[in-house]
Structure 1
Amino acid sequence: MSRTRITPQDAGITPRSVTRRDALRLFIAAGLCTTLFPGIASAETTQEKLDAAQLSYDQAQEELDRIAAEYEKIATQLSATTAKVADVSGQIEEKQAQIDQKQDEIDQKQLEIEHKQGVLGDRMSASYKAGPLSTLDLLLSSATFDEFTSNIYYLDKVTESDREMIDEVRQLKAELEEEKAELETQKAELEEQKAELEELQEEQRAQLEEARAKQIESQELVDNLSAEVQELMEKRDAELLAAQQLAEQMQQQGGSRPSGGHGNTVVSGSGSLARVINACYSTPSPGSGLCAAWVTNVFQNAGIGSFWGNADDMYYSWCGTSPSNAQPGMIVAVNVSPDSAAGRIYGHIGVCIDSGTVMDNIGYIRTTSLSSWVSHYSALATPLCGWLGGVKLS
C-alpha cells in the first residue's frame, strides 16, 4: 500500500485548518509514528494488519476525542471571554460617546453663563454707578460673582427682570456643577471599564495560547498516523458525510438541496455587498468540513480580498458584534461547534445574506435562519458577527 502524504494544502486548507473529516482524509495518507502505534509495524499477516489498523484507528479516535474534549473546555471559556471583550468594548464606546456629549453640554452651558454674567454685570454697573458710596463699597467688596449677585439681590434695588436674570444665572451654575460631577463619574466609570477590558484581553490571550496548543497537538497526532488505516478511515468518512447530509435533508423537507451553488439567484446592485451576496449563491462547496474555505472563496469571488484561516481564526480576528446586530454581508461564527470533533476544535462559520438569514457550507451550501443557526451553535460558544477583514460592505 502506497504511503503518499496528503498535505493540508492539498486539502485546500492552511497548516492548522484540518477539520474532523479533513483529519480522517489526512489519516489515510500520513506516515505512522511506530512509537505511537507499534502494533502495525509488528503485524505480519493480513488479518493481523487489519486488526492492528482497527486498533490504531480506535486509539487515534480515542486520542482525538480526548484532545477535542480538552480543547472544547478551553474554547468555551475563550468564547465567553471574547464575548465579554466585545461587550465591554461596546460599553466603552457608548460611555465615551456619553462623555463627549456631556462635555459639549457643559461647554455650551459655560458659554451661556458667561454671556448672562456679562449682560448682568453691565446692567448692574449702570444701575449702581451713581448710587450711595456705601452701596458701591458693598458691591465692590464682593469676592466672587455669586457674592456680588447676592449683595445686589438683597439690596432690594434690582428690577424684577434683574432679579430673574440673577436667579437664572444661579440655576445655570448649579446645573453646570451637577453636570461636571456627572462627567467626572462617567470618566471614572470609563477608566474602570478600560481596566476591565485590559484584564479580559490578557485572559483572552492566555486562553488563546492554550487553545492553539491543543490544535497543534491534534495536528501532530494527525501527522503521525498511518496509511494502514486507509480503508477504515475512508469508510468512516463516508458514513459521517452521508449521515450529516441525510440529517440536513430531513430537516429541510419540502426544500431542494442545491448541488454546489444556489441556481441563478441574483441580487441587484453593483456594490460590494451585492457582490458578496451573489457570490454566496454562486460559489460551490469546496467539500465537507471546509466552511472557512468556502467563506474565503466567496469573498475572493466577490473581489473583496483574500482572508485566510479557520472558522475560529476568523472568529477571533473579526467578530465582535452580537447576532442581534447582524447586518447583511457580515460573517457569523463560533470558535467551537457541537457537530463533530473537528468542529469542536476549529469552529464553524457562515455569511449573513440578510439580517435574518445565513448561508454556510456543510458539505453543500445551506441556507437557514440566523435564529436557528445561533440557537444550534450557541451550545458550546457565543456566536458573534463581524465584517471579514474589517471591510464594511455597502
Structure 2
Amino acid sequence: MSLKHVLLSDAGISPRAVTRRDALRLFIGAGLCATFFPALAGAETTQEKLDAAQLSYEQAQAELEAIGEEVAAAAAQVAETQSQVIEVSDQISQKQAEIDATQAEIDQREAEIADKQETLGERMSSAYKAGSGSVLDVLLSSATLEELTSNIYYLDKVSESDREMIDEVKTLKAELETKRADLETQKADLETQMSELEALQAQQQSELDAVRTKQAESQELVDGLSADVQALVEQRDAELLAAQQAAEEARRQQEEQQQNQGGGGNTNWGSGNTVVSGSGSLSAVVAAANSTPSPGSGLCAAWVTNVFRRAGVGTFYGNADDMYYSWCGTDPSAAQAGMIVATPSAPYSSAAVIYGHVGIYIGGGVVRHNQSGVVKNDSLSSWVSMYSVTAPVRCGWLGGVALS
C-alpha cells in the first residue's frame, strides 16, 4: 500500500514562491510533529523570529507615523508664527509711516512757528526802536474821543493777538510732540512683540528640526526592520522547503519499512473505508491519549500520531483530512473505543478549514483531542455537533489497526 505524498509541486509551491498561506499549511495543518523533523522545528523558530520582527516593524512603522504627525504639527506652528511675524512687521511698517507723516507735519508746523516767531520778533523790534512814546503818541494824536477809543482798542487787539499766536505755537508743538511720542511707544511695543515672535519662531524651528531628525532616524529603523523581515521570510521559505523534503523522505522510509515488514501497523491511504489489517492494545492507546502532551496549537493530527506511536501501535503520518479520507468510514453512532474521530474541514481556523480536525474516541462517550494547543476531553455528541458544520464527522481504525 502506498502513502499519500503532498509534494510542493502538487500544492502549487515553487522554491521561490512560498507564501504566508503555504507557511500556514506547512506549519499549522501539516500534522507533522517537530519531534520527528528537526528541520521543521527550526522553521518554527524562524517563524517566531519572523513574527517578532514583523511586530517590531509594525510598531516602528506606527511610531514613524506618529512622528510624522508631530512633524506636521510642528511645521504648522512654525507657519502660524511666521504669519504672525509678517502681520506684526506690517504693523511696524504702518506705524513707521504714521511717524514719518507726523514728523513731516511737525516739520511743517515748525516752519510756521519759525515764520510767526520772525513776525513777532520784527514787531517787538519795531516797538523797541520806537520806544514807549510811540504808544503815547498814538493816544495823543487822537483828535476825537471816538478816535482815541478806537486806537486804544486796536492796541489791545495787537497785544492779544501776539499772546494768542504764542499760545497757539506752544500748544501745536506740544500736541505734535505728544502724538509722535505715542507713535514711538506703539512702534516700540510692536518691535518687542516682533522680537518675542522671532524668538518663538527660532525655538519652533529648532523643535521642528529635531523632530525631522527623529523622523529620519525612525525611517532608517523601519527600513532596517523591513530588510530584516524580508531576510527572515527568505530564511523561513528555505526552511519550509527543507522541512517538506525531510517529511517526504521520512514518509518514504516509513512506507518502505512497512512494506518490508508487512502485517500490523501497515498504513493504508485508500478510499476512505476502514480496512482492518492488524490489531493493537486499546488500553495502551487510552493510556497514551491521557499522557501524551500537546505538540502545539493546530497540530491535532500530530498529537494523534504521537499517541499511537507511544502506544506501540504504529506510526501513521498525515493531516486530519488525510486520516479522515483514508481510515474513517464509520458513522459516529457506531464508534468503538480506540477509533479516531475526524472531519475533513471545520470553520474555526484557517488551518481547520484546509485540514479539518481529528481526535481519539477513548470510550464512555468521550473524545480526547488536541484543540488550540490544549489536550482535552469532550463528549462524543458535542464533538460531532461542533465539527460536523462543514462536513460529516466519521470514525475508523487508524492505519486499519483494530484495537482490543
User: What is the TM-score when the length of structure 1 is the normalising length?
Assistant: 0.42
Q: Which has the larger radius of gyration?
A: 2
User: What is the TM-score when the length of structure 2 is the normalising length?
Assistant: 0.41
